[in-house]
Amino acid sequence: MDDELLMVRVAELSYDENKTQDEIGALLGISRWKVGRLLVHARERGIVRIEIVHPRARRLAVERALVERFGLKDAVVVPAPDEPGAVLERVTRAAADLLAALRPVPRTLAVSWGRTLTAIAEVLPDGWAHGVTVVQANGGVSLNRRSGGAASVAVTIAQRGAGQAVLLPSPAILERVETKLAIEADRTVAAILDQAAHAGTFLFTAGPCDPTSAHVENGYLEAEDVIELARRGAVGDVLGRYIDAEGNIVDPELDARTVGIDLERLRSADRSIFVTAGAAKHDIARTVVSTGLCSVLVTDETTAQALLEET
């Protein structure tokens, strides 16, 4: 029996027949040490492929590639589920797992809001932290009351971390620059924004530049507004600020009416965790990771592969 065929036989007996290395050695007339070496070589040559199948499994090789390519501190990549609708659930659970495992535990956590952050808050375990302060990083008082908005996200994360929520009492986008400046000049609002800007850890997502945007859902913008932003080069928004593929603000006038911390704070933060899932956010995800807006990425395998292949 040549070496390659012997390798196949050893693999079959080990993985298909569940035989021990001693048993395989006795059957094939070789030592158990040679059996072990052949199994290692079988995996190295791709004759044997081992896949861990579980919703909370991770793709470690892809994570390492992302960290190396984009200079990240860490990455969490979960397998893409067979059902497209399960992607968000799988990614947000991974984000909750990451948050609960952070060491040191965040004392102050600044958060954005939206469907992704709401889903993370809902699956965070009680006791994930002890005494954490959760601060809104950008305005989010809903104008149509159809969703819980930013307040419920911050409150839920804080309650499950035995801490307190510091809420930003402002819409995300105001109609007049003068109104925005007046709100941010208020002593209480200014103190909240300063607290958010100096948080040790940020947890945020990004929205696509299309009519499914949370800003349309919550009444800040019309569908035609985001279509026009896309025409001008916007790929999505981060903390309510619409940016192009290079990370530049697309509409300075709109940005001047947006309440929240500056994006530069994400770049300079000790830890900025970006959570994204699904094909609709590939463009904005690529911009976030390639322009240094995050130091930690949590995403699905399909998104991760798109980032690695297209940059």
Q: What is the pLDDT of residue 219?
A: 86
Residue keyed to tokens 């019309």 = 222
Helices (H), the chain: 3-11, 21-28, 32-44, 60-70, 87-101, 115-123, 149-160, 177-185, 187-197, 214-217, 223-231, 252-256, 264-268, 282-290, 301-309
Q: What is the pLDDT of residue 55?
A: 66
128 & 215 share domain: yes
25 & 141 share domain: no
Q: What is the pLDDT of residue 82?
A: 76
Q: What is the pLDDT of residue 142?
A: 65
The answer as to whether 49 is a domain residue is no
205 & 294 share domain: yes
34 & 67 share domain: no
* CA dist., res. 199 & res. 236, Å (int): 24
* CA dist., res. 191 & res. 235, Å (int): 31
Distance, CA of 290 to chain centre: 14
Q: What is the pLDDT of residue 277?
A: 95
10 & 127 share domain: no
Decide: 218 and 148 in contact? Cβ < 8 Å.
no
The answer as to whether 140 is a domain residue is yes
Q: Find the CATH number of the domain harbouring 14.
A: 1.10.10
Q: What is the pLDDT of residue 81?
A: 79
Domain interval for residue 34: 3-44
The answer as to whether 51 is a domain residue is no
29 & 161 share domain: no
40 & 139 share domain: no
**Mind listing the pLDDT tens digit of every residue in the chain (311 residues)?**
688 899 999 999 999 999 999 999 999 999 999 999 999 999 999 889 877 766 677 888 899 999 999 999 999 999 987 787 789 999 999 999 999 999 889 999 999 999 999 999 999 999 999 999 999 999 987 655 544 578 899 999 999 999 999 999 999 999 999 999 999 999 999 999 999 999 999 999 999 999 988 899 888 899 999 999 999 999 999 999 999 999 999 999 999 999 999 999 999 999 999 999 999 999 999 999 999 999 999 999 999 999 998 65
The answer as to whether 50 is a domain residue is no
Q: Find the CATH number of the domain harbouring 245.
A: 3.40.50.1360
The answer as to whether 83 is a domain residue is yes
200 & 132 share domain: yes
Residue keyed to tokens 């860490």 = 74
156 & 25 share domain: no
The Cβ-side half-sphere exposure at 210, using a 13 Å CA radius, reads 8
135 & 13 share domain: no
Which residues, other chains included, contact 255 with Cβ-Cβ below 8 Å and sequence gap of 6+?
Answer: 241, 242, 249
Q: What is the pLDDT of residue 214?
A: 87
- Per the structure, how many domains does the chain have? 2
* CA dist., res. 179 & res. 300, Å (int): 40
The answer as to whether 170 is a domain residue is yes
65 & 40 share domain: no
The answer as to whether 55 is a domain residue is no
The answer as to whether 275 is a domain residue is yes
Decide: 220 and 131 in contact? Cβ < 8 Å.
no
251 & 113 share domain: yes
